[in-house]
Structure 1
Amino acid sequence: MRCPALLIAAPASGQGKTSVTAALARWHARQGRRVRVFKCGPDFLDPQWLALASGHPVDNLDLWMNGEADVRARLARAAQQADLILIEGVMGLYDGEPSAAELAQRLGIPVLAVVDAGAMAGTFGALVHGLRHYRPGLPWAGVLANRVAGAGHAQMLQAALRDGDGPWWGALPRDQGMALPERHLGLTQAGELPDARARLDRLADALQATPLGRLAWPEWQRWAVALEPGDAPPATGPWLAGRRIAVARDAAFGFLYPANVETLQALGAEVVFFSPLADEPLPEADALWLPGGYPELHADRLASAGRTRASVQRHVQAGRPVWAECGGMLALLEALTLVDGRRVPMWGLLPGQAVMRPRLAALGPHAWATPWGELRGHTFHYSEAQIPLAPVAHTTPARAHGRPEAIWRHGPILASYFHAWFASAPRAVAQLLSPQDDRVPAVSQEAAA
């Protein structure tokens, strides 16, 4: 299936990739086009803005975490439904293993480079030339400058481009009114800002004034790409059929991949949501998933969520499974010490405490080798947990400088800093959310080979 597709990349983080991708998505959606947006690499925050801009859930694409088969399958499904596919890169174009550049080249998706040119002129041309030619054969769509001072500045930037490094698709102005605010883990969650849509509309209006925004829709077919499924991703069986999985979802527990929810449903589960911040009781469920998020920003409200805590305690006492990831794990601990030194009691269902640090404690891709397949994902946290339990397992970092993350078990609770990509090993996910005496069949040696 052929569909116009662009991968929006940059020389580094903080250049405006999310803003430009969101502006493109919002602009085309306002024209009535069906836009599907994806995000390269593990990320929970950028996809929230991209989903708001496009009106559709945003999946992550990572050749290591997803696997190429999963990446190709998701893009092929999107191509059958969408008029346009946009993919936001991760960090710099060539950063990471594998990088956004490798994904673009392997799938033949043209790269639109976004460069923060606010403090440069002629160097803009050198930077774009390097992005364009560092990897021979990279599909290329052109360049858009960001945070530009005015028309004169834009002309200098355009003049700095060498032949073959364009096309020049214009410049977006420096404007705090359309900036997407940030905090320690990345962008502020889109749902927390009352003017989120207004910011996106302002971005789309600014894009409309550029050559890219004025490009007639038929001209977008120059970037049409054949997107076909490759090998089949890991098989999903009805291993959670008839079971109800409760998932915490609100501003404190917002780090969940839509694809993970889809995987649970593909496993046969009914998925129901509840809000601990609203002190909602845990719905009647066979298992509980507490995803990550920002419990440290809402520690007092979580501490006072008596109905939620009591219902989760009853769930645990009944021996029903709990999978707690990162921020979800912090909520279960006895206490959380904030950056200002204040110690806030948490739910006390998992022994130990955690301390928030002002600097990043861990970041990177990880895998958990289970009898039910290798579950892949990542870790990204500023806190350090002090849990007086012997870990039942450790993840393996995919990069040499990474540190393993512990997996702790306490009764029916399994907890870790590890954020899992469920589709990488559906059998393992079914096991995580099944009682110990109701084990999912392990992967056979033949299948594992």
Structure 2
Amino acid sequence: MSTQHCPALLVSAPASGQGKTSVTAAMARWHVRQGRQVRVFKAGPDFLDPMVLERASGAPVYQLDLWMNGEADVRARLHAAACEADLILVEGVMGLFDGAPSSADLAVQLGLPVLAVIDGSAMAQTFGALALGLARYRSDVHVHGVAANRVGSDYHASLLAQSLPDGLQWLGALPRDPTLALPERHLGLVPAGEMDSLDATLDALADAWARHASTALPPAAAFSNATGESAQSGLEAGPGNESMAGVRVAIARDDAFCFLYPANLDVLRAAAAELRFFSPLAGDPLPECDAVWLPGGYPELHLGALSARTDLHMALRTHHGAGKPLLAECGGLLFALEALADRDGVTRRMAGLLPGHARLQPRLAGLGLQEVLLPEGALRGHTFHYAMADVVAPAIATATNPNGGPSREAVFRDRRMTASFVHFYFPSNPIAALRLLQP
């Protein structure tokens, strides 16, 4: 077992909407501009926050979830980051103590000091009381410091800083400024690739953070890699180890298909697969390939463009008809159906790989961690979508939710095509994941 020390913070808050992502992004960009190498992670299975945080830090942002990843995978990723970084930031999920496992559980399990981000826009001295409550709620959670979001002035920031009790460090603040807000839509933040002014916004956030920032690095945390394995669970290409050497995997990647865990791509690369990215929105043809992966994203926002790709529909149907592997996840599932309707009821023809249709709903239709026992093995992941689908095909498996939540997604199988609303996390079972795409 090896241990590496690195300054680190888990950035959390009393609730969602307090400004965790803005503060994490501001800190990351500010420290990078000080010449430090910063590695950022995201607690939970979120796709969108990591896209922004990758731009802020200049390095890929991986997901950390004790259940979806498994503790060994989480520890291996943090240990690897600690070997090269000057600072590690982990953005939490929801409120500090919300969920199971919660951000607090992650902090305790990994020995991470916590930064509590509190929206101070409508308070003064009560800011300190709220911070003290977060710090004392669980004795095993170490709240190192506090940051304020949406402060009205330098004087307001000073009132908030002075309200903190002894033992809680003031780490910084961001102003109440609409121009610094990160735009959102129905699944969360707008993807980084769609924000033309994102780098300017990140620089502005870093400038604003610098006005009140503590110049001291947070305390160092100890990161151990107990198994000595890589974050890809030691998977290497070779006989008897599910090699994908020579296997060409076509992967849709653009604004309509943007939900790709970097860890999933790492698993494919570690198995020596040849990744061939293509953009359905840009008119790219389906690359010559042995397997196709249609990941999640926002097909509902691009109905016209996707419906017009009849050449791609035909190529995918030919691929599927030849019995070649195809994985369609969430947005990929919606594209694989015969038709998809947006919230206004505007319906367009889709690829027609799977009989059925879907329509976007005004409220969430699926949310939560998922585990599915497939013929290839058990895979973990999550679901998060607003679409309701009527699929005219039997399910080969139904996911379970570890927290007892109502979302239990079906998995559909037609020859070598696997389709579901579940976003699979390949490192949870690399061999099972590879078997979905092996010829």
Q: Report the TM range for the smaller structure's normalisation.
A: over 0.9
In 2, the alpha carbon distance for the partners of 1:401 and 1:9 equals 23
Q: What is the CA distance between 1:120 and its match in structure 2?
A: 2.0
2:286 paired residue among 279, 282, 287: 282
The alpha-carbon deviation at position 372 of structure 1 amounts to 4.3
Partner of 1:109: 112
Alignment partners' CA distance in 2, 1:110 and 1:47:
20
Aligned with 1:120 (options 107, 123, 130): 123
CA shift for structure 1 position 119: 1.7
Q: How far has the Cα of 1:152 moved from its partner? A: 2.6
Counterpart in the other structure of 2:32: 29
Quote the residue 1:299 is aligned against: 303
Q: Secondary structure at the match of 2:83?
A: helix
Is 1:235–1:426's contact at 8 Å kept on the other side of the alignment?
Answer: no
Deviation at 1:321?
0.7
1:18-41 alpha-carbon deviations (Å, 9 max, x no partner) = 111111111122222211110000
2:209 aligned counterpart, secondary structure: helix
Matched with 1:442 is: none
Aligned to 1:167: 169
Number of the residue aligned with 2:182: 180
Contact 1:267 1:426 in 2 (8 A): no
Q: CA deviation at 1:75?
A: 0.5
Q: Which residue of 1 aligns with 2:99?
A: 96
- Aligned match of 2:436: 432
Number of aligned pairs? 428
2:225 corresponds to 1:229: yes
Match of 1:384 in 2: 388
AA of the residue aligned to 1:407 = V
Q: Give distance in 2, aligned partners of 1:341 and 1:294.
A: 16
Q: Report the equivalent of 1:441.
A: none
Aligned AA for 2:124?
A
Contact 2:30/2:207 (8 A) holds in 1: yes
Deviations 1:365-399 (A, max 9, x none): 01012354421110101001101111011111112
2:213 alignment partner in structure 1: 211
Report the CA distance between 1:237 and its aligned residue.
4.7
Asked if 1 retains the 8 angstrom alpha-carbon contact of 2:368 and 2:405, the reply is no
Secondary structure class of the residue paired with 1:279: coil
Answer whether contact 1:392 1:407 (CA < 8 A) is retained: yes
- Matched to 2:235, the amino acid is T
Deviations along 1:349-373, one digit per CA (max 9) or x if unpaired, are 2110001100001100010123544
2:141 aligned partner? 138
Q: Contact 1:263–1:422 (CA<8 Å) still a contact in 2? A: yes
1:307, 1:84 → 2: CA distance?
A: 48
* CA deviation vs aligned residue, 1:188-215 (integer Å, no higher than 9, x gap): 0111011010000000001111132xx1
Which AA in structure 1 matches 2:97? Y
| Contact 2:376–2:436, Cα closer than 8 Å, also in 1 | no
Percent of residue pairs identical: 55
Deviates further, 298-307 or 141-150: 298-307
Aligned to 2:19: 16
Gaps of 5+ in 2: none
Query: Which has the larger displacement, 256-265 or 144-153?
Result: 144-153
8 Å CA contact 1:333, 1:347 repeated in 2: yes
Is the contact made by 1:279 and 1:306 (CA closer than 8 Å) also made in structure 2? no
SS at the partner of 1:209?
helix
C-alpha deviation, 1:235, in angstroms: 4.7
CA distance in 1, matches of 2:39, 2:405: 35
State how far apart, in whole Å, the 2-side matches of 1:313 and 1:31 are.
52
Partner of 1:68: 71
Equivalent residue for 2:354, pick from 350, 363, 369: 350
Q: Which residue number in structure 2 is paired with residue 263 of structure 1?
A: 267
Gaps of 5+ in 1: 436-449
Aligned to 1:227, the other structure's residue is in SS state strand
Q: Which amino acid aligns with 2:212?
A: T
| Structure 1 vs Structure 2 CA RMSD | 1.4
Distance across 2 between alignment mates of 1:211 and 1:65: 34
